[in-house]
Structure formats: structure tokens, C-alpha cells
A = this chain, B = another copy of it.
Amino acid sequence: MSMDMIPEPQSTLDNPARRVMLKGGAGAVAALGLMQMSPAALASSHSKVPEFAQWKRIEDLIVHSANTMETVRGAIRSGVITPSPTLFVRNNLPAPSASITENMDNWEVSFEGVKNPRSLKVSDLKKMGATTVASVLQCSGNGRAFFPHGAGGTQWSVGAAGCVMWTGVPLKDVIESMGGSVGGMRYITGTGGEEIPAGIDPKTIMVERSVPMAALENAMLAWQMNDEPLDLAHGGPLRLVFPGYYGVNNVKYVKRVAMTENQTEAKIQSSGYRIRDIGVKGSAEQPSMWEMNVKSWITGPLETANTGVNLIYGVAFGGSKSVQKIEVSLDNGQNWQAAQFVGPDLGPFAWRPFVFKTNLKAGEYRVVSRATDVDGTAQPRERFENERGYLHNGWEDHGVTIKV
């Protein structure tokens, strides 16, 4: 059973591994509220925004399940920063009670694997330092819908991504204040504060992720997103943020941060979010979903355009490093032309909107974009086939067909 599927009820009926899991643990799953929306109900309506995300802009979202909401492709426009009401939501477990955000400063997080371990409240962290970093937040499975083999999990198109600003304390400063990491530690392991019902082995469902120690350089403990207090839907009161890393590593409601010798044995790490060939089960020897890759896509127009001058918009980012170049092709990659980045550059982890001005005659165009990062690595044409549909940055699948 692949851990990273648990909160995605819409995929339960068409995935054999998932069926086995349900057989064994249907009661537990029901207890978690994971089955509250049937696949049919989800498919028939986009308006069922769950309680904890009621403040979202419904017209900008596709509700895949109680814990997964995708941003509509056209809603991103030429956005430098994704407005919070428009940002996608992806929880791995149901969110904790909203009561935890009533007094955010009281939220407590413990630190382990440091020379002087201790617990701190958010109010303590706020006195230790503050910085603001813009970064792309993207689900590992963004683009999964393009995989023809039917990769299990939420069928994200391009909308499990946004670019937001995080404000919080650099994790490095916190760790240093505790004497630094104990020797020999190789990973940073964050644990989420979701409730685990009795009778379930926590390791099978808990949100606990490990990333290499190198990620400490830019890591933060964030209490604000887009200059507002961090909402429950996005991990408030406190979220562990690793700019440049896939969403799942950015643990919500973080209650424990540990410097560890090994990666956590939680299933979400040991077998979930692993890159492997189609048909292969997840295991800890396979590459984990850590740093993001270079990527871009068109945000508009998406279907039709008028003859004459048109501006074609999109967003591009380098993943874990700056994006350097963006090109657009109107003929599915036969000819490429440089497009222009627009707006302020918010740093290496942010995306950059781009615009391409062109004069279109009547006809049908396959419009694709190709980003190149600062190291010269460009998006490939093809997707990288893998069981769970991760890492998709192939430019061909991400194009749009426009009728003029």
C-alpha cells in the first residue's frame, strides 16, 4: 500500500492496492473522515469546499476531495504571487481542529537532535528572528493527470502549485540557539500535528517527512503566508517550509523538528513519495520527492484567441534554483522564441510570470513553453514515466491548443 494515497478518496475505486487497504482498514479510514465524499459526489460537483477551506475563492478551485483542491489553470493569470483564496490545498490527513489557530502564539513545537533540546512556542520563535521568502509551493503529483498509465492519486493538472510569500524564523537560527545539531545527523525530520485515531499504527498514516541536512540553509518555521497569519488550510499556526522542495516536505501544524541520523520510518517517507518504474511498489531505496525541477506552463489564453496581436501568459520557475530563460513555441516545439519575464524577481525559489507577444492568423496552435534554470538545465520534452506520476516537467504535455 502506498501511503501517499490515503487522503485521496477519489482514487480508491480504481486502484487495486488501495482496495486492499480499504478492506483491512475501512473502519479506521472512516474514522478519519476520509470517506466523507464519494467519488461520484466529487465528480458531479466542484462546489463542495470543506469547512476548513470555506474562505477560498470557489470559482478559482476544482475540489478533488475533502483534502485536495486544485487551482483552475486560468486563475493564475500573470500572477507574481498567488492570492491565498486562489491557492491549491492538499492535506495528507484531515486538518486538526480549527481551535489550534485561535491562539497561534501558543502553538508549541519541540526540537530534538540538537545539543540543548527544548520546546518553544510560536511567541518564542517570533522573538528569535524573522524573514520573508517567496517560493513556489507545488505538490509532487502536480501534472499527474497527464500520465497515460493512470497514475494513482489526485489527478492534478497544473493547478497543484502557486507562488506565495512565507514569513517566519530561519530554522538555522533556532537550531543554532540550541547549540546546533548533534554530531552525525544527516536529515531534518518534521512531524505534523494531525490527530491520529486510536487503533491505527501512527507510522502508517502520520505526516512525518525527512529532508537532507543541506536543506537547513533556507528552511524556515513560518507563521505567515502572503503577509497574513497562516491559515489552518495551509498549515497554521506553524509550518515547516523548505523553499525549493516539493509541498509534502513542508510539514503543516508542525509539532516536532528533529535533526536525525536517518530518514523517518513513517510510510509517507519510507514508501510514499518515491520515484519508481510503473508497477513497482514504493520503498526507501528509491529517490524521494525532495528538490523540485525546472518547469513552466501557459496560463492563458487556454482555448481560443482572436486574430491579430495576442499576449500569451505563463509562469516559469527553476525549482530549487533560479529560472534563467523562458521560450515559447506556437508549433509544439518545432520553433522556439524568447518570451519576457514580467514583474519583480522575488528570488531563486519564486516563479516568474512571463509574456509572449505574437501576431496570430486564423488556425490552430499548439502552444508550449520551455524554461531553463540558471545551471542551463531545460525542461525536457517528455514526462519521466513513473508509477505515481511525480516530477512531471515535460513541456509537451503542459501545452495548450488554441483555436484562432
Q: Are A127 and B308 in contact (CB under 8 A)?
A: yes
Shortest Cβ distance from residue A176 to the other chain B in the assembled complex, whole angstroms: 14
Q: Mark each residue of chain A from 289 to 327: 1 if its CB lies under 8 Å from any CB of chain B, else 0.
A: 000000000000000000011110100000000000000
Distance in angstroms between the alpha carbons of A133 and B78 in the assembled complex: 12
Contact flag A127-B343 (CB < 8 Å), given A77-B227, A227-B82: no
Question: In the assembled complex, which residues on chain B have CB atoms less than 8 Å from the CB atom of A133?
Answer: 343-344
| Complex Cα spacing A96 to B310, Å | 30
Q: How far is the CB of A310 from chain B (nearest CB, A)?
A: 6
Interface extent on A, as a size class?
35 or more
- CB distance A165 to B80 under 8 Å? yes
| A134 interface residue (CB < 8 Å to B) | yes
Interface centre among A128, A167, A343 (most CB of B within 10 A): A343
Copies in the complex: 2
CA distance A350 to B80 in the complex (A): 14
CB-defined interface of A366-381 with B at 8 Å, one 1/0 digit per residue? 0000000000000000
Residues of B within 8 A of A226 (CB): 81, 83
- B130 close to A355 (CB less than 8 A): yes
Interface centre among A132, A134, A167, A342, by most chain B C-beta atoms within 10 angstroms, is A132
A399 interface contact, C-beta 8 A = no
A228 shortest CB reach to chain B, Å = 5
Task: Give A353's nearest chain B residue, CB to CB.
Answer: B132
- From B128, B165, B310, A81 is in contact (CB under 8 Å) with B165
What are the 4 closest A-B residue pairs judged by CB atoms, nearest first? A132-B343, A79-B227, A344-B346, A127-B309
